[in-house]
Structure 1
Amino acid sequence: MRVLLALLLATSVSAAPRTFRVDYFHTGNASEERFSLDRLVIEPLDWPGNPARPVDETNLGKYLFEVRDQATNRLLYSRGFASIYGEWETTAEAKEAHRTFHESLRFPAPSQPVQVLLKKRDARNTFREIWSLAVDPRDMFVDPSSPPSPGALLPLLENGPPSEKVDLLILGDGYTAQERAKFEKDARRMVDILFTFSPFKEHKARFNVWGLVPASAQSGISRPSTGLHRRSPVGATYDAFGSERYVLTFDNEAFRDTAAFAPYDFVEILVNGNTYGGGGIFGLYGTVASDSLWAPYIFVHEFGHHFAGLADEYYTSDSAYLPSEDRAEPWEKNVTALKDPSQLKWKALLSPSTPLPTPWDKDAYEAHARQIQQRRKKIRSEQRPESEMDALFTAQRDWEEKFLGAQKQASKVGAFEGAMYEARGYYRPQVDCVMFTRDRVPFCAVCRHALTEIIDLYSEKPVRSDVPAP
């Protein structure tokens, strides 16, 4: 009887599917884009995602992909995301040249043929299909072979099975084999910092955090603006899009093949260096330089981009992106064009009696910011010590904390002009936030709400309903 019961229990629990990956090339310029298949991959590990929430209903991302059963057209899986290409096409270079970027779509391995649909927002923010690919999991060209292992998986925080938790991977780059202990120390420090911020600290039990660090032949990563080039395992580099502080990897295949050895929903690439820098792209990865004085802030700020698609709320720093011509309503949940105040996207969190737009001493803030930018450019152009940049940023932070904290509406949720790299036309929810300055402040109320929504998507079962699903 016990044997029969065990057999019944075993057959009632379906095994998790493997992780399927579509690698493809994304080519184009500012006015056109094309896609071509590179390879179909079965990753080494089972799918780590939440089986109860396969469909993304957050309406986030510049792009969206869907996986549909070919026979019935039933939606099996979907996720919104952003991409390096999606950022690059807004730069001046994209108006003059074509470029190709390697990208990937990951989803639970299907048992039957599926159609993978890639969609992009149009001028009205509606997703429109731009590419479609038929995928047969039994195709002879589906590659189940494993790439070389990057090393042992390091559990940094374990709270349960990957399918029930938000799984974050801390992926090291630019660490030699002798610096593995340094990576573990750096990674644990970043994890501890993340969970001091709301809403992460309240939901720490809903996270797993893993560490991987492939051994690098040389310590550090590339910084082309200073003539430094490194062939690090994940390919991270400063100076992305010509911005000295922007850290990305353009080697998507190396990144994906390395990360495949961990169960992950999100990835933070921890680069071994002390120069101020980082980056974050929604649904792709975040980056941070581990030894920068500002690593705690950069890590949390860039993770906000990667995790929940939060927009940059600052607007006085130099940017590689061209100004928006029409100021369409952004898809990001923490910025708005405020074309109709009665339809403010965060009106449920709006402080009572707060005027829209919400007044603040914008001119004085911008005058101070211009002075900081001039001094910053001088430090970089003369390649002066990083300690001088740290001192400048510390003085800026101290001034801004006092100045913004003294604003009449400092504690209110409203619509404060200045966001998304533009001084006019875009608005942020509160006068200060992790996404606006390097100040020692929390995420604003709107950002916290957006972050919690993603935590729920990856770790929460849907609300039960008596109404059958369509």
Structure 2
Amino acid sequence: MGTADGTVTGSTKVVDHGADADRYVFAVMGDGFTAAEQPAFQTACTGFTTALQATRPFDAVWNQINVHRIDIESHQSGADNPLACGDGSAPTGGATTADTYLDARYCGDGSIRRLLTVDSGLAQTTANARVPGWDVIVVIVNHAEYGGSGGGKVAVYSVAADALEVALHELGHSAYGLADEYEYYQGCSSGETDHDTYTGPEPGEPNVTAVSDRSTLKWRHLVASATPVPTTTNPDCTTCDTQANPVGANDIGAFAGAKYFHCGLYRPAHDCLMRTVGSSLPFCAVCQEAIKAEITRGSSPACFVASAVYADTTHPDVVWLRDWRDRRLRPGARGRTGARALVAVYGRVGPPAARHVQRHPALARLLRDRVLGPAVGLARRHGRRG
């Protein structure tokens, strides 16, 4: 199993926006593609990059992204798909076994068939050897059964229907720390009894919360004043809530049911890709902020002073300022030449200015409360995002 079941044959930089050290880097590799099936893997890789570029917020920061394709020839085609799985399901088309480089396998935890896993340690070792500057790994598995998984900076998906939506969903977990927003584990009709009401601590993920108070909601800056909080409540915590969305499709609020629980946790949108594969809203505004914060943190000049003022590189105002800057730097953007000159100067004077702010907390508070906060708030209200 593992490296004895295949060979890494090469790598190609398929999206090049500059040096990897200055960009957010995807390493895309396949498993279960034989030598004869390499054209199919290359086509699948192209499909992934096309979908990524067309999806918000990746489209807004596309010039900060590089993609490398790592070619791996597995000895056999497909993936392991056992006859028995804990959820009682049967493999579509019958059980299969395959000797593949990354040991792709459905029912990876023994309980849910859709959990498609690979040897993530080997995936990382392979990426380290071919693309040492990678930020996230994407593994495309050559099997038609629906499935995927995410975590540890490795996202996995199969070539089944809805494959690209699964890829983006799993990226949400692997690269950007997003939680599943659906309110069940095995399924609403599965009869599961241990997912009624969440009673644990506040989750660390940016897109789920146990808080239903507007004033302390972690994404309160994105909730319109007319939107009630909580936005929905589940009248029967023994089952999934099926009520219709009471607000607009893109509106952010606090909707009951998230991270495998019917009650006790809230998600920011009624529906989004972190809840439903194929959702009409790929990533909600909260998820988009988290994604952009991660990409810009590793790929472009930091907002030195703003980060020092807020003492938090992921604060919504800092994220907004980075987004404004990056939009101004996009090819064809209005004022791009001036923005590039400003960023170049800021790259020299920003770090010492930030250190000065860090040494003077009173100055940081003054800049936050009297300068940056009001300026960003005014720009948000007038929609001037560059």
Q: Report the TM-score range of the alignment, normalised by the length of the smaller protein.
A: 0.5 to 0.7
Tell me, in whole angstroms, the C-alpha distance in 2 between the residues paired with 1:294 and 1:279. Answer: 14
Find 1:194's aligned residue among 36, 52, 55. 52
Q: 1:333 aligns to what?
A: 206
CA distance in 2 between counterparts of 1:368 and 1:345 reads 23
More strand as a share of residues? 1
Match of 2:112 among 237, 240, 243: 243
Aligned to 2:99, the other structure's residue is in SS state: coil
- In the other structure, the counterpart of 1:70 is none
Q: Secondary structure at the match of 1:432?
A: coil
**Matched residue of 2:175: which SS?**
helix
CA distance in 2, matches of 1:214, 1:341: 50
Q: Which amino acid aligns with 2:113?
A: E
Corresponding residue SS for 2:98: coil
Matches within 5 A, 1:259-274: 259-260=127-128, 261-263=130-132, 264-274=134-144
- 1:20 is matched with which residue? none
Give the AA of the match of 1:453: A
Paired position in structure 2 for 1:307: 175
Shift of the alpha carbon at 1:407? 3.4
Unaligned runs of 5+ in 1: 1-147, 370-402
SS in structure 1 opposite 2:9? coil
Mapped pair 1:411 → 2:279:
no
TM-score under structure 2 length normalisation: 0.68
The yes-or-no answer on 1:424 pairing with 2:294 is no
- Mark the CA change 1:253 to 1:293 in structure 2 (over 3 Å): closer, same or farther: closer
| Matching residue of 2:123 | 255
TM-score normalised by length of structure 1: 0.56
Question: Between the two proteins, what is the percent identity of the paired residues?
Answer: 30
Query: Measured at CA, do residues 368 and 428 of structure 1 come closer, stay the same or move farther in structure 2, by a change above 3 Å?
Result: closer
Q: Look up the match of 2:150.
A: 280
Q: CA, structure 1 residues 351+340, in 2 after alignment: closer, same or farther (shift >3 Å)?
A: closer
- SS at structure 1 position matched to 2:143: coil
- 1:218 partner letter: Q
Secondary structure, aligned partner of 1:315: coil
Instruction: Pick the structure with more helix per residue.
Output: 2
Task: Map 1:350-361 to 2 at 5 A.
Answer: 350-359=223-232
258 and 321 in structure 1: CA distance in 2 versus 1, 3 angstrom threshold = farther
Q: In the aligned structure 2, how far is the partner of 1:408 from the partner of 1:193?
A: 28
Change (3 A) 1:362 1:431: farther
Q: Figure out how many residues of one structure are paired with residues of the other and give that number.
A: 285
- 8 Å CA contact 2:199–2:264 kept in 1: the answer is no
CA shift for structure 1 position 214: 1.5
Q: Does 1:345 align with 2:218?
A: yes
Amino acid at match of 1:184: Q
Task: Give the deviation of 1:413 after TM superposition.
Answer: 1.1
Q: Which runs of 4+ in 1 moved over 6 A?
A: 319-322, 360-363, 366-369
CA change 1:367–1:149 in 2 (3 A) is closer
CA distance in 2 between partners of 1:362 and 1:274 (Å): 38
Structure 1 vs Structure 2 CA RMSD: 2.7
The answer (yes or no) to whether the contact 2:28–2:68 under 8 Å persists in 1 is: yes
Amino acid at match of 1:244: R
Aligned partners of 1:360 and 1:407 also within 8 Å: no
Distance, in Å, in 1 between the alignment partners of 2:232 and 2:240 is: 17
1:368 deviates by: 9.1
Alpha-carbon separation, structure 1, partners of 2:162 and 2:210 = 30
Q: 1:98 — aligned with what?
A: none
Q: Deviations over 1:268-302 (max 9, x none)?
A: 11000111101111x42101102x11102101111
Distance in 1, matches of 2:172 and 2:224, equals 23
Q: Give, in whole Å, the separation in 1 of the partners of 2:262 and 2:165.
A: 23
1:147-206 C-alpha deviation (Å, 9 max, x unpaired): x97111122211110000000011100000111111000110011011111110111111
Quickly say closer, same or farther: Cα 1:252–1:443, change in 2 above 3 A.
Answer: closer
**Residue 232 of structure 2 is aligned to residue 232 of structure 1:** no
What's the CA shift for 1:352? 1.4
Correspondence 1:215 to 2:85: no
